[in-house]
Amino acid sequence: MFRARQILVRTIVLAVSTAAFAACGQRGPLYLPTDPAAAQRATLPETLNPAASRAPASSPADSASTPRP
């Protein structure tokens, strides 16, 4: 009896997770947007590491003398 319930639960979980993975995402081919509004959006590397997207300081001496916000 316990084995049948375990098989049923695993089957339901598998079906629900398959439906969730199949339903997520955008349909159609992938593309890079070229409209002017897209130019202001962050790229994937900027999203993952926001500190790397900031402009680097001109020299270490200049950055040491400027106060941080």
Model confidence over 39-61: pLDDT tens digits? 888 888 888 887 776 655 555 55
How many whole angstroms separate alpha carbon 35 and alpha carbon 37? 6
Q: What is the pTM of this model?
A: 0.35
Q: Is residue 34 predicted with pLDDT exceeding 60?
A: yes
* Two structure tokens written together for 53: 């997207």
Q: Is residue 64 predicted with pLDDT exceeding 70?
A: no
pLDDT score, position 14: 96
Which whole number is the average pLDDT over 6-28?
Answer: 86
How many whole angstroms separate alpha carbon 12 and alpha carbon 20? 12
How many whole angstroms separate alpha carbon 8 and alpha carbon 5? 5
Over pLDDT 90: what percentage of the chain? Answer: 17
